[in-house]
Each structure stands twice: as structure tokens, then as C-alpha cells.
Amino acid sequence: MAERNPLDELRERIGEALRASPAKDVEKNLHALMAAFFERFDLAAREDLEVQEKLLERAQAKLAALEARVAELEARADAKRTQ
């Protein structure tokens, strides 16, 4: 039988210990508790903020384009009035 790498054996033992421990349950419970806490204070997740930031950037770009278009149309209208 081939000898096992000591690091692989250690990794397996640690994995088994973690699977057998309540650490996963504690992690899930802590995550749920923190989510409930943050929800109570109406805090947003980073992903939600990033989405809103991108939407705002697009809206600002559209607004700038529309303002430029309105200025162009107003300039044309003024030019026609002066003729």
C-alpha cells in the first residue's frame, strides 16, 4: 500500500472534524442573525448598492445627452427666429 502524503492526511482529518462539528450550524445561524439585524435597520447589501450606482450612472448619462439635445434644439430655434 502506498504511503499517503502527510499534508493530504491532515487536510482530510481537518475536513472530517469540521463536517462533524457544529461550526457549519453556528455559521448559518450567525449569518441569519446578522441578516435579520441589518434588515431591521434598513441597510442595503453591497450588491444592491452597486446595481443602484450603475442605474444612476446610466440615468445621469441619458440626462446629460438629453440636456445637450435640448440646448441644440433651442439654439436652432433661436437661429430661425433671428433670420
pLDDT, one tens digit per residue, over 36-79 is 777 777 777 789 999 999 999 999 999 999 999 999 999 999 99
How distant is the alpha carbon of residue 16 from its chain centre?
33
- Tell me: do 81 and 50 sit in the same domain: yes
Per the structure, the count of domains in the chain is 2
Which structural domain, as residue segments, surrounds residue 51?
A: 45-83
Identity of residue 12: E
What number is the average pLDDT over the span 9-29? 74
- Tell me: do 35 and 2 sit in the same domain: yes
DSSP state letters, 14-79: HHHHHHHSTHHHHHHHHHHHHHHHHHHTTPPPHHHHHHHHHHHHHHHHHHHHHHHHHHHHHHHHHH
Angstrom distance (rounded) from CA 79 to CA 12: 80
